[in-house]
Amino acid sequence: MEPSEVKIGFIGAGNMAFGITKGILLSGGVLPRNVTVSAPSSNNLGRFQELGAAVTHSNTEAVAASRLIFLAVKPHLVPAILREVAPHVTREHVVVSVAAGVTIATLEELLPPESVVLRLMPNLPCMVQEGALLFSRGSRAGPGEGALLKTLLGPCGLVEEGPESWIDAHTGLSGSGVAFVYLFAEALADGGVKMGMPSALAQRIAAQTVLGAGRLLRDSGRHPAQLRSDVCTPGGTTIYGLHALELGGLRAAVMGAVEAATERARELGRK
């Protein structure tokens, strides 16, 4: 299927759905009229309409109007939604679930046999087209569907495929990771305030520092340890600051955070 011909549906109109919609429309690869979004209330549908997408309150209508369906509802709603739409899901459909903790096995169980299912874990910055997205193919999803999804989601940020076992780690690292970065940025700003800077300015500078460092890291292709070393002049300010971070056990704390979030994702997936 050529990207521009694909009809895309969203069940759920929350931030994730919006972020992905923005991304795929931004590339120009999908026509707004080919996007249908359904949600029970009108609260969130306005911003989709502004983008030119079609909106509805009927999940089955969204399914019928689309080939590729994003399931973007809260995890506990998934079973009920799938039971509702299953009669309308055909072999031609491609179902992409964005629900955290809902396994491919569960999805395939609730959908008709032979259904094509993929599982996607995006993260919040999809909303500004700087997401980190990992997807995994179900038993009936072939490389073609994987390639389609990758092309479609490209404008949302970094898109990679992996085995389902990586999705929990991705949740811990990048899903929750966004919050870890916010915590770090807040602490950077607090440090600035302690050293005499007004808090609003410190926060803006902290945000820009994280952004700038992130861009250099992503675009340089160099190992973060190398970039770190490059900033550290002998006996200079940075190495003193880094020593304080090491004394504080930052590395272990961060590894522990990713581990804790991943373990929790696994736990939730088992329930």
- Whether 132 contacts 157, CB under 8 Å: yes
In the bound complex, what is the minimum distance in angstroms from residue 159's beta carbon to other proteins? 20
**Nearer to other proteins by C-beta: 87 or 249?**
249
Both tokens assigned to 266:
């696994």
Interface with other proteins: number of residues (CB under 8 A): 17
**Nearer to other proteins by C-beta: 208 or 229?**
229
59 is in an annotated binding site: yes
**Tally of CA atoms within 13 A in the half-sphere of 76 that contains its CB:** 0
13 is in an annotated binding site: yes
**Nearer to other proteins by C-beta: 259 or 267?**
259
CA-closest candidate to residue 53, choices 41, 65, 64: 65
Instruction: Write out the binding residues for other proteins, residues 209-268 only, by CB under 8 A.
Output: 223-226, 228-229, 243-244, 246-249, 251-252, 255-256, 259
7 is in an annotated binding site: no
**Nearer to other proteins by C-beta: 115 or 262?**
262
Indicate the residue type of 39. Answer: A
Angstrom distance (rounded) from CA 54 to CA 76 = 26
16 is in an annotated binding site: yes
In the bound complex, what is the minimum distance in angstroms from residue 21's beta carbon to other proteins? 33
The helix (run of H) or strand (run of E) holding residue 97 is strand 94-97
In the bound complex, what is the minimum distance in angstroms from residue 255's beta carbon to other proteins? 5
- Whether 67 contacts 6, CB under 8 Å: yes
Q: In what order do the strands lie in the sheet with 68-71?
A: 54-56, 35-38, 8-11, 68-71, 94-97, 116-121, 131-137, 157-161
**Nearer to other proteins by C-beta: 109 or 259?**
259
Angstrom distance (rounded) from CA 158 to CA 25 = 16
In the bound complex, what is the minimum distance in angstroms from residue 172's beta carbon to other proteins? 12
Indicate the residue type of 47. Answer: R
In the bound complex, what is the minimum distance in angstroms from residue 216's beta carbon to other proteins? 16
15 is in an annotated binding site: yes
Name the CA radius of gyration of the chain, rounded. 21
**Nearer to other proteins by C-beta: 201 or 244?**
244
**Tally of CA atoms within 13 A in the half-sphere of 208 that contains its CB:** 6
In the bound complex, what is the minimum distance in angstroms from residue 250's beta carbon to other proteins? 9
For other proteins, the binding residues (CB under 8 A) are: 223-226, 228-229, 243-244, 246-249, 251-252, 255-256, 259
Task: Output the known binding site for NADP(+).
Answer: 11-16, 72-75
Task: Output the known binding site for NADPH.
Answer: 59
Task: Output the known binding site.
Answer: 11-16, 59, 72-75
